[in-house]
Amino acid sequence: MGSAAAKHHLGVRRLLATGDFRRLLASRLASQWGDGLFQAGLAGAVLFNPERHADPAAIAAGFAVLLLPYSIVSPFAGALLDRWDRRRVLVVANLTRAVFILLTVAAVGAGLSDVPLYAAALMVTGVSRFVGSGLSASLPHVVPDDHLVEANAFATTLGALTAVLGAGSAVGLRLVLGDGDGGSARTTCVAIVGSLVAAFVASRFKAGVLGPDEVVEPNRAATAVAMGLLDGARAAWRAPKVAAGLVALLAHRAAFGMSLLLTLLLMRHSFGTGIEGLGKVAVAGGAGILLAGLITDRVVDLLGRKVAVSAALVLAAASQLGLGLPMLLPTILVASFLLTFAGQVVKLCVDSAVQGDIGDEVRGRVFALYDTLFNVTQVLAVSTAAAVVPFDGRSPGLIIVATALYLVGLGGYLLLLRRSPGQG
C-alpha cells in the first residue's frame, strides 16, 4: 500500500517542473496575495478605523453588499468561463480588478462609506471570484487527472497561505502608513501590484491551453449565459460526490461565518486588540491551512474522501463547542487553527470532486454555482447572527448553533453520498 501511495504522489518538485502548472500557480499566488492585502486593508479601513464606527449590523451589511450582488452575476460568469479562452479571461479580469482597486482606494481616501465604498469594493470582490473560478477550472488542463487532489491541495493551500501573507502585509503597512482614512487608502492601494503581476504571468500561457475544450456555438451564447446557474446545478446534482461535498462545505461556511462575526466583535469591543488581534487569528488560521495542505492528499489516500470529510466536520464541531465557549483569546486562536484546518480539508475534497467528476464543458458553471452558494450562505449566517448577537460579541447560544450546523452538514453529506450518479 505504501508503494501505491508513493506512485500516486508526484511531489512538489515534479509538479513545479511542469511549466504550465508553475505559471498557473504563480498567477494564483500573485492574485491571492493582492486579495489578502485588499481585504485586510479594507477591514482595517472599516472595522478598526478610529474615524469610523462598526456595530454587528454594519458588519453584516458589509458582507451582504460585498457578496450578494456577485451571487447574481456568478452564474453568468460561469457560463462565460465555459465559452471564452480562460487565458484571456485571467489577463483581462486581473487588469480590470486593478482599476476597481483604484476606485476603492479613492473612496476610502475620501472618507466615503456605505454604498459608494461598498459598491467599489464589490467590483473588486466580484472580479476576484471570477479569477478564482477561472484558475480552478483551468487546473485540470495542466495536471493529469490522477494527480488532481495532490496538485489542488498544493496550489490551494499555498494560495491561501499567500493570502494570509498579503493580510499580514496590510497589517505591517498600516502601522507604517497610518490607521486613518489616508493610511488605509495607501495600504489598500498596494494590492494593485498583485493584480498586475497575476495578469502578466497569465499572459505567458499559449492561447487555448487552459480550455475550455468544447465551446457552445455562438448562436446559443445567450441561452448558455442565461442558463448558467441552472446548468451548474444540474451538473452538480448528477455527481453525488459534488452535491454532498457542497452541503458539507456550506455547513462549514455558515458556522464559520457566525464565528467570524463573533471574533471581529470580541477583538474590537471585548479584548481591545484591534487589527493586531485579528492578525493573530489570521496566523493561526494560516497554520491550519498549511497543515491541511500537507496531509489532506495522504489522508484521502489512506481513509478515502468520505471518511476525511466526515472526520473534518466532527473535529470542527468539537472545536467550535469546546474551544469557542470560553471566549478567551487563547482558546479562540486554537479554535481558529482547528476550524480553518477542518474547513480547508473539506474544501480541498470538494474542489477535487468538481475537477474530477464534472466535465470541462460545464466545470466553470459548477464553480460559479459553488461561489454563489458560498457567498449567499455566508451572508445569511452573518446577517442572522448580527440580528441577535450582543454588541461585545459574547454569545454562547450562537456558538452552540454553529456547532449544530456542522453536525447537520455531516448528516446531509452522508445522505447525499448514497445517491447513484445522475439520480433525480
Q: How far is CA 257 from CA 179, 375, 405, in A?
A: 26, 10, 11
Most confident listed range (80-84, 337-341, 380-384): 337-341
Segments in 110-147 forming alpha helices (H): 115-138
Q: How far is CA 230 from CA 69, 258, 311, 372, in A?
A: 18, 29, 31, 12
Q: Any idea which residue has 491561501 for its cell?
A: 160
Q: Quick one: pLDDT at residue 46?
A: 67
| Nearest CA-CA partner of 26 in 161, 159, 141 | 159
Contact status, residue 207 vs residue 87, Cβ threshold 8 Å: yes
Grid cell digits, residue 257:
461565518
Contact status, residue 240 vs residue 419, Cβ threshold 8 Å: yes
Domains within the chain, CATH numbers bracketed:
14-208+222-417 (1.20.1250.20)
Burial 44-57 (b: 16+ CB within 10 A, else e): bbbbbbeebebebe
Q: 305-308: long-range contacts (C-beta < 8 A, 24 or more apart)?
A: 305/241, 305/349, 305/352, 305/353, 306/414, 306/417, 308/345, 308/349
Instruction: Report pLDDT digits (tens) over 32-53.
Output: 999 999 988 887 776 666 556 5
Contact status, residue 70 vs residue 129, Cβ threshold 8 Å: yes
Instruction: Report pLDDT digits (tens) over 103-147.
Output: 999 998 888 876 778 778 878 877 887 788 788 889 989 988 777
Q: Which helix (H) or strand (E) holds 191?
A: none
Instruction: Report pLDDT digits (tens) over 268-278.
Output: 777 766 667 77
